[in-house]
Amino acid sequence: MKKNITIRDIAEALHTTPSTVSRALAGSPRIGESMKGAVRAMAESMGYIPNARAVSLRTGKGSLIGVIVPSINRDFFSSIIDGIESVASEKGYNIIIGQSRDDVEREKALVDEMFRGRVDGLIVCLAYTTSKYDHFMPIWRSGLPLIFCDRSPKNLTTARVNIDDYQAARSSAEHLIKQGCRRIAFFGGAENVDVFFERKKGFLDVMHKYGLPVIPDLVYDDAINFEKGQAAARKVLALKKSEYPDGLFACEDYTAIGALTVFRENGFRVPEDLCICGFGNEEIASYVSPGISSIDQSSFEQGYQASLLFFEAQKSSDPSKFTTMITLPSRLVIRGSSMRHPL
C-alpha cells in the first residue's frame, strides 16, 4: 500500500500549515485568493484526494446511505436502487448495498454492519420473513433516518414509501371479474408481509362486493416466485375439471408466469379459459406471450421518493421521529393474459 497525499504533504510543499490548506480547499473566506490558488494548484498537481473517512470521523457526516434489499438481482429491487442512486449521486452521496436474501438474520447482520460503517441512515425493503423490527433499534436510537420502501413494517409508524397495494389489488380483481371470471384463484404471499396482506384484503373485499365465492382450494398463500407459482398451478390441476378456476389473481409477476407455463402446458387457453393478472409489472411481464396484465408499482419512483424522504428526514430536528408516509399511485397495465374483450 503506497502512501497517499494528505493535506500535510501539501502544506509542507507550500511551507504553510494543514489548517490553511484545509481552509483554502474548503474555500474559506479567511484565506487570501493567492494562497487559495496556490493550494489548489498544488493539490491538483500532487493528485490529492481527500480522505472521506477522516472527514467523516471529524465531522460526523459521511455521505453514505445504506440500502438493504432482499435481492439486487430482480428488476423490481434494482429499479428501486436505481431510483435511490439517482437522487443520492445528485447530492454527492454514495450508496452501500446489502442483500438480505429474504432472511431476517442476514438483514439484522446488515443493519449492524452498516451502522458500524457509519452510514448516515438506511433505506430498507424488508426481507420476506421479517415480522419483528428490533434489529433496527441501533438506527433509531442513534437518531439516524430510516426509510422503508415498498416492504414496510406492519402496524408501525415509520417513514416509508409504498403504493396503495389494497387499491391496486382491488382494481386488478375488478378487472378480472369484468372480463367474466367467476372462479378466481388467488396465489399470494405470507400475510405477515404488509404488501401481501393488503393485496389479499383487496382481492377478498372485491370478491365479497360482487358476491363471488372465495374457494379455499384455489387459494395459496406461499406462491411468490416462478417455481412456487408452478407448484400452486399443479395443485390446482389436481382438482376436478369442474372445479378449475377461470381467473387467476397472482401477487407477483413471476408467480403469474410460472402458473401460465403450467396451465398452458395443460391445455388452458389464456385468456379464453383462464384470465391471469400479475403484480409488479416487471419487464418480463411484457415480453412473455401473452403479455401478463400487471400492476405497475413505479419501482424507480418509489426508490426516488424514498431517497428524497431520506434527505428530508436528515434535515429534520429528530430524524427518528420523522414519520412521513408517501403512497404513490399505481396503475393496472392490461395485456393479453386477461384481455378477453378489447377495452
Partner DNA sequence: CTGAAAGCGCTTACAG
Q: Does 13 bind DNA (CB under 7 A)?
A: no
Q: What are the beta bridge partners of residue 23?
A: none
- Cα 289 → chain centroid: 27
Q: Does 75 bind a second copy (CB under 8 A)?
A: yes
Q: Does 134 bind a second copy (CB under 8 A)?
A: no
How many binding residues for a second copy (CB under 8 A)? 54
Q: Does 51 bind a second copy (CB under 8 A)?
A: yes
Q: Which residues of 197-235 are buried (b: 16+ CB within 10 A; e: fewer)?
A: bbbbebbbebbeeeebeeeeebbbeebbbbebbbbbbee
The Cα–Cα gap between 277 and 248 comes to: 6
Amino acid identity of residue 322, one-letter, is F
Footprint of a second copy on 248-277 (CB under 8 A): 257
Amino acid identity of residue 78, one-letter, is S
Q: Does 144 bind DNA (CB under 7 A)?
A: no
Q: Which does residue 17 bind out of DNA, a second copy, none, counting CB within 5 to 8 angstroms by kind?
A: DNA
In 91-225, which residue ranges form alpha helices assigned H by DSSP? 104-116, 137-141, 165-178, 194-209
Position among 74, 108, 331, 340 found at the interface with a second copy (CB under 8 A): 74
Contact region with a second copy (CB under 8 A), list: 57-65, 173-181, 206-214, 215-223: 57-65
Q: Does 64 bind a second copy (CB under 8 A)?
A: yes
Position among 13, 35, 204, 328 found at the interface with DNA (CB under 7 A): 35
Q: Does 113 bind a second copy (CB under 8 A)?
A: yes
The burial of 134, by beta-carbon neighbours within 10 Å (0-12 exposed, 13-18 middle, 19 or more buried), is given as exposed
Q: Does 158 bind a second copy (CB under 8 A)?
A: no
Position among 12, 41, 45, 51 found at the interface with DNA (CB under 7 A): 51
Footprint of a second copy on 190-249 (CB under 8 A): none
Q: Does 40 bind DNA (CB under 7 A)?
A: no
Contact region with DNA (CB under 7 A), list: 53-61, 80-88, 162-170, 230-238: 53-61
Nearer to a second copy, 68 or 184 (CB): 68
Q: Which does residue 30 bind out of DNA, a second copy, none, counting CB within 5 to 8 angstroms by kind?
A: DNA
Q: Does 104 bind a second copy (CB under 8 A)?
A: no
Element (H, E) at 68: strand 64-69
Contact (CB, 8 A) for 158 and 318: no
CB-hemisphere CA count at 13 Å for 84? 29
Q: Does 97 bind a second copy (CB under 8 A)?
A: yes
Contact (CB, 8 A) for 174 and 340: no
Position among 21, 24, 62, 249 found at the interface with a second copy (CB under 8 A): 62
Q: What are the beta bridge partners of residue 124?
A: 68, 148
Amino acid identity of residue 198, one-letter, is E
